[in-house]
Chain A
Amino acid sequence: MKHNKSRLFKLIDMVYICMMVLPVVAGILLKVLTAPPAEGIQITGARIFCRIPMPLQDLLITEAQINSWLVMISIFGLCLYITHGLTTKNISKRQHLAEWIVTTVEKLVSGNMGEYFKGFAPFITAILALSAFSSLLSLVGLYPPTSDLNVVGGWAILVFILITYYKAKCGPLQYMKSFAEPVPFLAPLNIISEVATPLSMAFRHYGNVLSGTVISVLIATGLQGLSRLLLGWIPVLGELSLLQIGLPAILSIYFDVFSGCLQAYIFAMLTMMYVAGGFPLDLYLQRKQKKHKKQLSGGNV
């Protein structure tokens, strides 16, 4: 049986779909209107739109920031769309999708981080969605925000703060002691590895996406030159670079789709592993129990 949707329901659906699609269209329009004409090989960073003067350093509004905001709005629209009209009977397709996402991520999180960190599922989903959609933005020809070190570096710093928070949850003394773990003599190395965690996370994600972009541009340009060399003698066809049609798309499947989604998965996985691995759960539970007992006995006296 198909339940009839009211006109208002459909109208709100349309608004959500517009919210999903319009940011991408706006990004393409912005790029088409403001991009300088490209000639030859062009591998540049994000273009700077404007500078806002700040006390220490100018705040730059770049393409990466604008694109990541567009992606955020788009994901927001998607979330609103698939959770619109939740029911308990006659479940629609989009509700199936929403339920599948929620159950999958919850299973992933509780499998990798343990039951204590079950509340991390929304955060991990957010990282996954933002990272994957940011990398996939290069499919429509926009600048993927993940190929800017600043964007990914921001996420890595966020994860670093989380790791440190959970490490220091058993008191600052315990946190200091964790650096002198096997022997106190190794403390400098432990500090270096602590700092290297966010650095390597940021470099891994950004390097993978950026290297894909660089290789795609190099191969597209190389194919253009090759087709001019091989087919240049044909009067009309020589002008079009025939070899450029289709071949770069095959590479794009690997570099944009597979690599982008894989990096999103790996970033989320590493976040889970580092946060759960750095937290001394047994010690924390022991301390909590002790505190609880103390409170109880204090209350009795």
Chain B
Amino acid sequence: MLELAIGIILGGCALGAGTAMIAGIGPGIGEGNAVAKACEAIGRQPESKGDVTSTMLMGCAIAETTGLYALVIAILLIFVAPNLLVNILLKAIG
């Protein structure tokens, strides 16, 4: 029974980590849009390449934030949560 419970915990953590990383879609699309627009802008005004590039990198970094939140949650679920949850379970059983 205990093995089953621990198995459910580990499986749930792995599934949760995988599901959390679906959030990677959002920043991917967003950054793609940003870079596409930056390329257009450079094509129209090649002399402003430096400014456009640095602003684009800045915007990309900020757009990436949601993806990184998902990454942090996934890392917590893989490396921290199983230990914690199993300890809670063992304490509850006694």
User: A43 contacts B79, CB within 8 Å?
Assistant: yes
User: A204 contacts B61, CB within 8 Å?
Assistant: yes
* Given A200-B65, A204-B64, A204-B65, A210 contacting B57 (CB threshold 8 A): no
Instruction: Specify which chain B residues have a CB less than 8 angstroms from the CB of A263 in the assembled complex.
Output: 61
User: B68 contacts A208, CB within 8 Å?
Assistant: yes
- Closest A residue to B65 using CB positions: A200
Majority secondary structure of chain B interface residues (helix, strand, loop or mixed): helix
Chain A CB within 10 Å, residue with most, of B61, B69, B71: B61
Instruction: Specify which chain A residues have a CB less than 8 angstroms from the CB of B58 in the assembled complex.
Output: 266, 269
User: B79 contacts A203, CB within 8 Å?
Assistant: no
B85 contacts partner chain A, Cβ-Cβ < 8 Å: no
B5 contacts partner chain A, Cβ-Cβ < 8 Å: no
User: B75 contacts A210, CB within 8 Å?
Assistant: yes
User: A211 contacts B57, CB within 8 Å?
Assistant: no
A93 to chain B, nearest CB (A): 25
* Given A43-B79, A210-B75, A262 contacting B61 (CB threshold 8 A): yes
Majority secondary structure of chain A interface residues (helix, strand, loop or mixed): helix
A280 contacts partner chain B, Cβ-Cβ < 8 Å: no
Instruction: Specify which chain B residues have a CB less than 8 angstroms from the CB of A211 in the assembled complex.
Output: 68, 71
B72 contacts partner chain A, Cβ-Cβ < 8 Å: yes
Give the contact-size bracket for chain B: 10 to 19
Total contacting residues, chain A, CB less than 8 A? 16
User: B57 contacts A207, CB within 8 Å?
Assistant: no
B82 to chain A, nearest CB (A): 14
B31 to chain A, nearest CB (A): 13
User: B71 contacts A207, CB within 8 Å?
Assistant: yes
User: B72 contacts A266, CB within 8 Å?
Assistant: no
B68's partner among A45, A204, A214, A262 (CB-CB below 8 A) is A204
CA distance A204 to B57 in the complex (A): 13
CA distance A286 to B32 in the complex (A): 44
- Which positions 206-249 of chain A face chain B at CB distance < 8 Å? 206-208, 210-211, 214
- Closest A residue to B79 using CB positions: A43
B13 to chain A, nearest CB (A): 15
Instruction: Specify which chain A residues have a CB less than 8 angstroms from the CB of B72 in the assembled complex.
Output: 203, 206-207
CA distance A204 to B67 in the complex (A): 9
CA distance A210 to B71 in the complex (A): 10
Chain B interface (Cβ < 8 Å from any Cβ of A) = 57-58, 61, 64-65, 68-69, 71-72, 75, 79
Chain A interface (Cβ < 8 Å from any Cβ of B) = 43, 45, 200, 203-204, 206-208, 210-211, 214, 262-263, 265-266, 269
Q: List 24 A-B contacts (CB under 8 A).
A: A43-B79, A45-B79, A200-B69, A203-B65, A203-B68, A203-B72, A204-B61, A204-B64, A204-B68, A206-B72, A207-B68, A207-B71, A207-B72, A208-B64, A208-B68, A210-B75, A211-B68, A214-B75, A262-B57, A263-B61, A265-B57, A266-B57, A266-B58, A269-B58
